[in-house]
Structure 1
Amino acid sequence: MDTFLLLLQGNPPETSVPWRHRAGGIVTAVLLLLGLALATSLLAVTLLYLRAQSKLEAVEEAVQKLQVSLQPDDASDASAKGSDTLQLLDEAQAGVQLLKAQLGNVSAAYGEIQIRLDNVSAARAAVQGRYSDVLTKLSRGWRFYSGNLYYFSQERKSWDEAEQFCVSQDSHLTSVSSQAEKEFLSNETKGQAHWIGLTDRETEGSWRWADGTEYRADASRGFWSENQPDNWDQGIGGREDCVHIHSINRNLWNDANCTQPFRWICKQAHGPAGL
């Protein structure tokens, strides 16, 4: 299966994909074992509850019989039975109350374990759903790198249309978190200009990533082409408020008019924030 997934990604065997799926299998197995352990605990508590319930019923029945036997036939009979027997009845009733309290504790433990078991089942389903989504995206040509999934389009759209497509795939136009990620993106674009998720359309000069991560100007200064961004007015309506990887200039960044059609890169992020 790992080899098949690698072929789908177009990456060599040394990529992180096999580790990712092994990790997913380990997490699923741990959740399964935890679920089995909780199910076993739930069964044990259930048996304890039933045993306590049975004991309580037996004690209550004995108390009822004692109460009946203590009903006096006449005044002399009541005096004969005396205070010692009445004290025994009080102790038996106290025992019943203690058993009821213990039964309540067992019932509370049962409910707590049931909640934990439900949580484990939900977590297991979430993990299975997540890795199912990863496998589905890989089979559709997405790339896997450093814990994130990337989609490199073949068609061209405006920046807004590209972002809409990414959102429809539970992702956003890509942010960039490191020099290594920047190089990965540059290698995968194969000499074609691609939109990334950086824009200053809301406030000129105030750049932000489409996925909501913080833009850090100092860390990303070396990623721009020379004299960029320049917000050049190309005379086609509006200025340059969206960023693409500039294939002509060593795959560095360039601001461009958001309406221009370029290929694009989506990122389903699970890693650190962008630059």
Structure 2
Amino acid sequence: MKAAEREVPDVHFTVDKQNISLWPQEPPPKSAPSLAMRQTPTIRAALICLSLFLVVSVVLQAILYPWLMGTISDVKTNAQLLKVCVDNISNLGSEIKKNSGDVEAAGVQIRMVNVSLGRAHSQILMLKTSVEKANTRIQVLTESWEKVDDLNAQIPELKREIDKASAFNAKVRGLQSSLENISKLLKQQSDILQMVSQGWKYFRGNFYYFSHIQKTWYSAQQFCVSRESHLTSVTSESEQEFLYKSAGEVFHWIGLTKAGSEGDWYWVDDTPFDKVQSVRFWIPGEPNNVGNNEHCVNIKVSSLQSWNDAPCDNKYLFICKRPYIPSEP
């Protein structure tokens, strides 16, 4: 143990490419050759082992270094890729969280869509029912249309019948119009006969009553009013001719009068007085208003010019006039 515990002199070596040189730090002392000789195999073995280790290390380093560097580079690359993947996974997690809310909203929308689809399905069923009803109606209309076609085929014949009926109706309307006219004439004749039977005369739409007693002008007018008439007015030459011929050269009051000496002539039945036309009906020189008291007019002679002004208090026969009004049927 003591021999082993002695200090072993340091060994120095150098590696020059494939050459390995070994030497001791200090040469062994010349005084102890036996110890050096004893230690030489051990040292040589150690040196050989060490040299082999170094050679192997150098060889392994020369062989494994490039592989190791490539592996390290691949590891770095893979680490970067892994980092990118981790970042992507992190971003994907954020996106998943973000999209989870969209998924929930989409779920709500899907439920709403399902409700809408349910309603749409109900409406489709209703529409289907309506279509079936419409088809039934279309079938009915088709049958009706076939009947219409049959009627259309009958239209020409019906038109001819209608034309015949129209002609017949025209004749009927003509006959009805004639019958109505005849009925009116008969009714008018009946009314006229009834008035004539009461002492009236008929001329161009008016009845005239020629009195048989004499009265003053005012009393004569009152009498006429009591018979729904007035003292007669004169509106045409034909009426004037009818009156003077019917009077027969006997004085008869007519309904022409005036208010006072300065008044204008007027008809008591409110017929407008035609002053120009009346000039042809006065006796020449009339009206002369003798004594400023001749304010009423009579027919004096049987002539177109037969009017004469006279005092209203004189008593003469008189002529009442009333328009013909058809009686109710």
TM-score computed with the length of structure 1 as normaliser: 0.48
Higher relative contact order (CA 8 A, sep 6+): 1
Of structures 1 and 2, the larger Rg is shown by 2
